Structure 1
Amino acid sequence: MSLVVATAATALLLAGCSDPGAGGGASAAPADWPAQDAKLDGVTLTIWAAQNSNKVPESVVKGFEKLTGATVDVVTIPDPYEQGVQTKVASGDKPDLAFWQPTASMLTALNASTNLQPLDGAPFIDSYKPELQDITGILDDTRYAALVTTPAVEGVYYNKEVFEKAGITELPKNWDEFVELGRTLKTQGVTPFFDFGGGTPWATQWWVQVQLADAARDGLWDRVNANEETFTDATIQGAIDEYQSLIDEGLFNENLKTATFEDQGAALLAGDAAMAVQVNSFFGQLQSLADTDELNQKIGFFPISPSGNVGTFIPDQSNALVAFKTGDATREAAARQLLTYWMGDGYADFVEAQSTPSLQTGVATPAGVPQALLDVSDSLADSVGSMQALAIVNPDLYLNLGDMIQGTKTSSQVAQTTQDQFAQLAKAIGAPGF
Structure 2
Amino acid sequence: MRRTLALIAATVLVAGCGGGQSAAPETDTSGGAPQKVTLEWWHLSTADPLKTVYETRAKEFQAKYPHVTIKMTVLENEAYKSKVTTLTQSGKAPDLFATWGGGVLQQQIDAGLVKDVSADVAPVLDTFTKASLTAYQFDGKTYALPVDIGMVGFWYNKKLFEQAGITEPPTTWSAYLDAVTKLKTAGITPIALAGKEKWPGHYYWAYLAMRIAGLPALQQAGVDHDFTKPEFVQAGQRLKALVDLQPFQKGFLGASYSTPDGQAATVSNGKAAMELMGQWAPNVQNDNGKGLGDDLGFFPFPAVEGGKGTITEAFGGGGGMAVGADAPAEAIELLKFLTETGNHTKAVEKNAVLPVLKGEESAVKDPNLKVVADSLANATGFQLYLDQAYPPAVGAEVNDSVAELFAGAKTPEQVAADITEVAKSE
Normalising by structure 2, what TM-score? 0.77
Q: Give aligned-pair identity as a percent.
A: 21
Q: Flag the 1:301–1:185 CA change in 2: closer, same or farther, 3 A.
A: same
SS at match of 1:170: coil
SS at match of 2:406: helix
2:106 partner amino acid: T
User: Which residue is 1:266 aligned to?
Assistant: 265
| Contact preservation (8 Å) 1:146, 1:321 | yes
Question: How far apart in 1 are the matches of 2:346 and 2:34?
Answer: 23
Question: How far apart in 2 are the matches of 1:215 and 1:41?
Answer: 58
SS at match of 2:415: helix
| Contact preservation (8 Å) 2:42, 2:96 | no
1:63 partner amino acid: E
User: Which residue is 1:27 aligned to?
Assistant: none
User: Which residue is 2:42 aligned to?
Assistant: 49
Q: Flag the 1:171–1:406 CA change in 2: closer, same or farther, 3 A.
A: closer
2:208 partner amino acid: Q
Structure 1 residue 321 displacement after superposition: 0.7
The 5 A counterparts of 1:31-430 are 41-50=34-43, 52-53=45-46, 57-76=54-73, 80-82=79-81, 84-85=83-84, 88=87, 91-103=90-102, 105-112=103-110, 114-120=112-118, 122=121, 123-132=123-132, 134-151=133-150, 153-197=151-195, 199-214=196-211, 218-227=215-224, 229-230=226-227, 232-261=228-257, 262-289=261-288, 295-306=292-303, 308-310=310-312, 312-315=314-317, 319-326=319-326, 331-332=328-329, 334-344=330-340, 345-352=342-349, 355-363=352-360, 370-381=366-377, 382=379, 383-385=381-383, 386-392=385-391, 393-424=394-425, 426=426
Structure 1 residue 146 displacement after superposition: 0.9
1:405 partner amino acid: F
CA deviation map 1:24-51 (0-9, x unaligned): xxxxxxxxx99xxxx9943524233146
| Contact preservation (8 Å) 1:311, 1:379 | no
Question: How far apart in 2 are the matches of 1:106 and 1:40?
Answer: 39
Please list every run of 5 or more consecutive structure 2 residues that lacks an aligned counterpart in the other structure.
11-24, 27-31, 305-309
| Contact preservation (8 Å) 1:216, 1:384 | no
Please list every run of 5 or more consecutive structure 1 residues that lacks an aligned counterpart in the other structure.
1-5, 13-32, 427-434
| Contact preservation (8 Å) 1:314, 1:389 | no
Structure 1 residue 86 displacement after superposition: 5.9
Q: Flag the 1:55–1:91 CA change in 2: closer, same or farther, 3 A.
A: farther
Question: How far apart in 1 are the matches of 2:157 and 2:33?
Answer: 49
Q: Flag the 1:40–1:357 CA change in 2: closer, same or farther, 3 A.
A: farther
Q: Flag the 1:59–1:277 CA change in 2: closer, same or farther, 3 A.
A: same
2:117 partner amino acid: L
1:297 partner amino acid: D
Question: How far apart in 1 are the matches of 2:302 and 2:6?
Answer: 30
